Amino acid sequence: MNFFHAIIIAIVEGLTEFLPISSTGHMIIVSSLLGINKDEFTKLFEVVIQLGAILAVVVLYWRKFLVFDKNRLNFYLKLIVAVIPALICGYLFSDKIDQLLESPLTVGITLLLGGVVLLFVDNWFQQPTIDTDEKINIFTALRIGFYQCLALIPGVSRSAASIIGGMQQKLTRNVAAEFSFFLAVPTMAAATGYKLLKGKDLLLAHPDNLKLLLVGNIVAFLVAMAAIKFFIGALKKYGFKMWGYYRIVVGAVIIAAILMGYSLEI
């Protein structure tokens, strides 16, 4: 991986992390198209640049995370409870997840199927009762956390899974999206911390890798800031259908390319 590769992958991460289209799936496909060698550092890079993306959430919603009042401990507790299912499943199935991360066919199938779901999801949950995150209780947060576990399958999208889970739990579309953003912070911080701990020797042995990570996180942060603002506006105006059509087209193209003999395998 060189600096050009790092910037492209970071742009993809920043654009797609909070959209319901799967950042992991897009990074797998883009890495394949760029011919990036899927070595241990590349795998580490694609996880660690999530730090830049989650920093964008903290900056945009800084009052939620940094202004302490009587509701703040309850807010943090809900996020901690909601992230537990993904942490447990990620630990138990880490080897299987690593195998799926190398499969563009898996990404193509899950993108397509998830796109079909997004075409109809706006019509499924039309009577929300929770219009602020303060009304989310601990058990609701936990149930949303179980939905987030679906995103351990590449191509599903953490954002899509947790937003749909929130809407199923009677959250309004916008509150479900924002809670998904908030939930991304402990989820991706844990995944990043774990990956850094495992890969610390790799970074210490190759100082240039630290420069790539720094550039990647800065780019991911800047792009994610714009992507979050765009997504909230588009969600209010158009709902999920536009993302559903996008996923179906991209998924179908990936599957067709593989069936026609084009090698996208990493």
Per residue of the chain (266 residues), what is the pLDDT tens digit? 788 988 999 999 999 888 888 887 788 778 878 877 667 778 888 888 888 988 998 898 888 887 777 777 888 889 999 999 988 887 787 667 666 666 778 888 889 999 999 998 888 887 888 888 888 899 999 999 999 888 888 788 888 899 999 999 999 888 898 888 888 888 888 878 877 787 777 777 777 888 888 999 999 999 999 998 888 888 877 888 888 999 999 889 888 888 887 665 54
Q: Which two tokens stand for residue 216?
A: 């990647």
Burial of 180 (0-12, 13-18, 19+ CB in 10 A): buried
Q: Which two tokens stand for residue 5?
A: 């590769």
Distance separating alpha carbons of residues 43 and 192, to the nearest angstrom:
11
Per-residue pLDDT at 249: 92
Beta strands in 5-57 (DSSP E): none
Task: Output helix, strand, coil percentages for the chain, rounded to the nearest 5.
Answer: 80, 0, 20
Per-residue pLDDT at 208: 81
Between 207-238 and 173-205, two packed helices, what is the crossing angle to 10 degrees? 170
Burial of 197 (0-12, 13-18, 19+ CB in 10 A): exposed
Distance separating alpha carbons of residues 50 and 219, to the nearest angstrom:
11
> 259, 109 in Cβ contact below 8 A?
no
